[in-house]
Structure 1
Amino acid sequence: MRNEILIAVITIIMVSCQNKQKPEQRNIIKAIAEDTLAKTVAGTADLSDPPVKDDKAVKTIQKQLLVLLKSDLPAMTKEDRFFYYEAFDLNNDKKSEYFVGFSNPYFCGSGGCSGYILNNDGSIINLFTVTDFPIYVAKSSSEKFQDLIVSSKGIFHLIKMKNGKYPSNPSVKEVWKGETPKESTKVLDIDEKKLEKYSF
């Protein structure tokens, strides 16, 4: 049923665009429509709905970053002032924590990037340094929070909650032996998930 609806929509777009667009624009639209149709028929098209934007979460994170980075703001350019985030409930309290990451030169260096984990209310749980994204959420837990598998300089480390905090520098913690578990959830997969970028 979904395929039939998609085919009908593509057909309508192609017909309406052919009447209004220049010849070269019609060819581009036609090529995109044909590619989408071919992928849909072959079962390779990504028909999943895009993630719902949580305006409350974005505003909470923006507000907290302005506080956490207050002394850095004068030195930052407009291009430095953006972040990515992903929500995940780390302690099964039915409230998501927010993983906040950066991917620009102000926050990233040869060892990796900086990032934060914030509570649902915006208060800080952790600052991370020398971290490569994505971060993997392990099945094990410590102090009611799930352990994390974090890559730093290309090496995976297992980090555990201790005294209400995760270690800020994963590179000095226990090396994860073996490959990352396939069942682990990836968060802040900035490149592969094409996460939306927000300013602060």
Structure 2
Amino acid sequence: MKNKILIAFLILAMVSCQKKENSTSKNIIKTIVQDTLSKTLGGTANLSKVPEKDNKTVELIRARLLVLLKNDLPALTKGQRFFYYDSFDLNNDKKEEYFVGFSNPYFCGSGGCSGYILNNDGSVINSFTVTDYPIFAATTSTGNFKDLIFKSKNTLHSMKMKNGKYPSNPSVQEKWKGDIPAQSSVILDIYAKKLEKYSF
């Protein structure tokens, strides 16, 4: 009988401790949330460890697309007015260029999709057509700019900078020989990387 009472007492004590721990945990979490919220609203929160999305880049690209596609805007539905972008320093000048791509029927066909490569200031390096994603930056360079490997119509093509531009139609460029080098950088991997899409 004493054993049964002792076991019951131990179980009751354990349940009581668990409730106290849960209550304490909930109170701690509630306090942290309230403190963070008040500091955020008051402008005193330390957000240095929070990854910052580059809204300036998104706005720069959005503004540029509204100019570049002004003649297309009336034909575009709301669901077609979005883009993806990825950054990559093509010429080792410590400034990233922007690869802008689309993935809807207005910009894409059986051969691939259209897109742009923009300078860091938003000016156009060039547009491209009939491209499948992703795009690869090769380990070689031409004129200080990385050579690119585009996939078009299920074939890899070499894209080299010439006179300040890459070719706009990869499908008519020289075919890439061999596999994509393992050291190549992957750019604008819309499907595998799950890049965020933005409206324009």
Same fold (TM over 0.5): yes
- Measured in 2, the distance between the counterparts of 1:167 and 1:50 equals 39
Match of 2:62 in 1: 62
How do residues 110-149 of structure 1 correspond to structure 2 at under 5 angstroms? 110-149=110-149
Letter in 2 for 1:83: F
Letter in 2 for 1:199: S
- Measured in 1, the distance between the counterparts of 2:100 and 2:108 equals 13
Match of 2:168 in 1: 168
- Measured in 2, the distance between the counterparts of 1:196 and 1:63 equals 18
Change (3 A) 1:72 1:109: same
SS of residue in 1 equivalent to 2:132: strand
- Measured in 2, the distance between the counterparts of 1:191 and 1:143 equals 31
Match of 2:105 in 1: 105
- Measured in 1, the distance between the counterparts of 2:197 and 2:53 equals 11
- Measured in 2, the distance between the counterparts of 1:189 and 1:50 equals 24
Would you identify which runs of 4 or more consecutive aligned residues in structure 1 move more than 4 Å?
A: 49-52
- Measured in 2, the distance between the counterparts of 1:130 and 1:65 equals 19
- Shift of the alpha carbon at 1:144? 1.1
Letter in 2 for 1:73: L
Unpaired stretches in structure 2, ≥5 consecutive residues: 1-21, 27-48
- Shift of the alpha carbon at 1:132? 0.4
SS of residue in 2 equivalent to 1:183: coil
- Measured in 1, the distance between the counterparts of 2:118 and 2:197 equals 17
When Rg is computed on C-alpha atoms for both structures, the one with the higher figure is 2
- Shift of the alpha carbon at 1:115? 0.6
Unpaired stretches in structure 1, ≥5 consecutive residues: 1-11, 17-48
Letter in 2 for 1:108: C
Match of 1:80 in 2: 80
SS of residue in 1 equivalent to 2:63: helix
- Measured in 2, the distance between the counterparts of 1:146 and 1:79 equals 34
SS of residue in 2 equivalent to 1:74: helix
- Measured in 2, the distance between the counterparts of 1:88 and 1:94 equals 10
TM-score, normalising length: structure 1: 0.74
Please tell me the root mean square deviation across aligned C-alpha atoms, in Å: 1.7
- In 1, are the aligned partners of 2:139 and 2:181 still within 8 Å (CA)? no
TM-score, normalising length: structure 2: 0.74
- Measured in 1, the distance between the counterparts of 2:165 and 2:177 equals 23
Letter in 1 for 2:158: L
- Shift of the alpha carbon at 1:50? 9.9
- In 1, are the aligned partners of 2:131 and 2:170 still within 8 Å (CA)? yes
SS of residue in 1 equivalent to 2:98: strand
Change (3 A) 1:167 1:61: same
Change (3 A) 1:51 1:153: farther
Letter in 2 for 1:193: K
- Measured in 1, the distance between the counterparts of 2:52 and 2:198 equals 14
Change (3 A) 1:145 1:51: farther
- Measured in 1, the distance between the counterparts of 2:197 and 2:180 equals 26
- Measured in 2, the distance between the counterparts of 1:146 and 1:177 equals 17
Match of 1:185 in 2: 185
- Measured in 1, the distance between the counterparts of 2:114 and 2:63 equals 18
- Measured in 1, the distance between the counterparts of 2:125 and 2:162 equals 11
